[in-house]
Amino acid sequence: MFFYPDDNDTEIETVLATKKTLFKSSLNIFSNIQMPINDSYFTSERVDPPVFSTWLKNMSAFDGVLLTIASLSVSFVLSIGIGCLYFVRKYISNESSRHAMTWIALMFPVTTVTSLLGMYFPRSASFLHIIGTCFLMICVTMVIRLMKSLFKGEIGILEYMTLNDLNFDLKHPPFLCCIKLPPLKRSKRNFKILTFFVSQTVFVQIIGRMCTIIAFLENSYKHQRIYDISNIACFISIMVSIYASEVLYRVSKKSLSKYKFGIIYIIVHISQTLFNIQEVFINVLQKFNIIEPGFLVYPEIRTLYLASFLFCCEGFVLALILFFAINPSKNKMCDRYQPSDAKSSRMNSKAELGELNHLKNENLINNNVELHRKDHKKFTNQNMFI
C-alpha cells in the first residue's frame, strides 16, 4: 500500500532517510566487489613457460642435476647407437631386414635427443615429444615388417603356421587371460587385421599430440579436458597395439629365436610404453599436488620434464641391451659376419693351398730339369757315336 507523508510528519522522514543511506551503502559494497574471473584472466593467463636462457638461469639445483644426468646418458646412447647402426649396415645382407633394423637402431638416439631438447627448451617440449612419439610408433611397425622379412613375407608366416598347426591365440596375460576366447584362425585377412591394430597407434598418437599442441598454443592449460582426453585415447591405443603385437609375436617366437627377434620386439615395446605411459602416471601425481610445476608454470611441462629425464636414463639401459642383441657374433641376422675362428681356418686353408701349389710347381720344375738332362745326354751320346 502506497501513501504520501505529510510535511509535519517527522518520524516518517527519518525512516526514509535511514532507508536511503542503507541503500547507498549497499550500492557501494557491490561496486567495490572484485571479480575473480577477470583477475585470473588478466594475470595467470598471461604467464608463459620460460625461454631457454631464463630457464637455465632460474632452474633449481634439483632440476640442474636431472638435466646433467640426462645429458650424460644421451651422450652414451649416441655412441651406442652409432655402434648398432654400424652392425646393421655392414653385416645384414637382406635389404628389407636391413631397412627395418636401421629404424630400430636409430630409435634410442632420436627419442633420447628429443627428450633432452625438451628438457632444455620447455616451450617446445610438447612438439619435441610428438616427434619422439611418432618415431617410436614407426619403429613398432618396423618390428612387424622385420618379422615379415625374416619369414619371407606373409605367405611364409601362414605356411609356417600351417605346418605347425598354429592359430592366433588371443589369450595372453595380462590381456584377456581370464576370458574364454576361441583362437583366431590363420588367414591372410586376420593377419592384416592384427597388423592394422598394431599400426593404428601411429595415427592416434599423432592426432592426440596435435590436440595437445593446439591446447598449448591457445593457452588452454586451465581447461584440462583436451589434455586428459588425449592421454586417455593414447593410452587405449597403446594397449591395443601391444596386445596385437603380442598375438603376432607368440606365433614367431620359436622360429625367429636365432635372430634375437624376441629381444628386439620386447625392447621396442618397452621403450614406446615407457615413453608414453609414464607421462600419464606423473600427470596423476600432479593432480594430487604431489609434484609442483615450480618455475615451469604449467603442470604439463613439469610432467614432460620428469618423463623426459626418466626416459633418457631408461634409454641408456635399453640401448645397451639392443647393442648386445644385434652383436654379429650372436645374431644370425648378420649373415655377412665371419667369426675369427672361421677367418683363421680360412687363412690356414689358403696357406695350405698355397704351399701345395708351391710344392707342385717345384715338382714340375724338377721333372722338367731331369727330362732336359736326359735329352741332353742322348744328344751328346749320338754325337759321339757319329
Give yes or no for residue 286 having a pLDDT over 80: no
Instruction: Establish if 39 belongs to a structural domain.
Output: no
**pLDDT per residue as tens digits for the range 168-183:** 888 776 666 556 778 8
- The pLDDT, as a whole number, for residue 65 is 93
pTM check: above 0.95: no
Give yes or no for residue 225 having a pLDDT over 50: yes
For 4-21, letters b (16+ CB in 10 Å) and e give eeeeeeeeeeeeeeeeee
Helix and strand numbers, DSSP H then E, in the chain: 13, 0
Of 259 and 40, the structure prediction assigns the larger pLDDT to 259
Instruction: Establish if 123 belongs to a structural domain.
Output: yes
Of 199 and 119, the structure prediction assigns the larger pLDDT to 119
Report CA-CA distances (Å) from 73 to 67, 84, 271: 10, 16, 15
The model's confidence at residue 117, banded by pLDDT at 50, 70 and 90, is: very high
Give yes or no for residue 38 having a pLDDT over 50: no
At 184 the three-state DSSP class reads strand
* pLDDT, averaged across the chain: 77
The model's confidence at residue 3, banded by pLDDT at 50, 70 and 90, is: very low
Instruction: Establish if 299 belongs to a structural domain.
Output: yes
**pLDDT per residue as tens digits for the range 339-383:** 765 555 555 555 556 666 656 666 666 666 566 666 656 656 555
Residue with the three cell numbers 651422450? 75
Number of domains present in the structure of the chain: 1
Instruction: Establish if 234 belongs to a structural domain.
Output: yes
- Least confident range from 127-131, 205-209, 260-264, 338-342: namely 338-342
Residue 272: which domain range? 60-325
Give yes or no for residue 323 having a pLDDT over 90: yes
Hey, which residues does 168 pair with through a beta bridge? 184
Q: What is the mean pLDDT of residues 10-32?
A: 50
Instruction: Establish if 364 belongs to a structural domain.
Output: no
Q: What count of residues does the chain have?
A: 386
Instruction: Establish if 224 belongs to a structural domain.
Output: yes
Instruction: Establish if 330 belongs to a structural domain.
Output: no
**pLDDT per residue as tens digits for the range 271-284:** 988 888 888 788 78
Tell me how far apart the alpha carbons of residues 84 and 101 are, in angstroms, rounded to a whole number: 9
Instruction: Establish if 100 belongs to a structural domain.
Output: yes
Report the CATH number that the domain containing residue 156 is assigned in CATH.
1.20.1070
Tell me how far apart the alpha carbons of residues 304 and 296 are, in angstroms, rounded to a whole number: 11
